[in-house]
Amino acid sequence: MKMSDGVEQAIHSVAMLSGLSEGGVLSAAALAEFHGVSTSYLLKHLQALSGAGILDTVPGPKGGYRLAKAAKEISLLDILLAVEGPAPAFRCAEIRQRGPNPVSDRFFAQPCTISAAMLRAERVYRAELAKTSIADLGIELNALDDGSIAARGCAFLEIHERKTAR
């Protein structure tokens, strides 16, 4: 399965926003700059995250984005569904019913066994993503970081974070 680049960008952006101070926001341009991605492409995903209730949008020249809820309440599945939508990754097109020498319709009364197996796997995959929050990722990163990653993020936020009232 291949996810769009937007999923990675969205997860990293939400993780970055989890480091904001109370009342702080970051512009889409700042998030794009930090991650070295296109602002216009990232904006599409930030809007999807806002629409899903993951991010709050603060309008105006001093506006930007911030988390709409605590990082521990935002799962990787929440972000994936906001960006990619709820449809399963595998979509059965019933090709078993095509081609030469058709067989009786009675063989198609049950769901395709391939589709059923793929959907079972997707349920496991989604359940695993649902168990991992943005806060969990931060804890894992802190355990690995010698301070370099945190320093990079803090230095960037020091310059680019905009202070607003909550």
Residue 53 confidence (pLDDT):
98
- pLDDT of 165 above 70: no
Closest C-alpha among 8, 13, 71 to residue 46: 13
Total tally of structural domains belonging to the chain: 1
- pLDDT of 166 above 60: no
Residue 101 confidence (pLDDT):
81
> What CATH number should be reported for the domain holding residue 158?
1.10.10.10
Mean pLDDT in residue range 54-60: 94
Q: What tens digit of pLDDT does each residue of 65-99 get?
A: 999 999 999 999 999 999 999 998 888 888 778 88
What does each C-alpha distance from 38 to 32, 48, 57, 147 come to in angstroms? 6, 16, 19, 28
Average pLDDT, the chain: 92
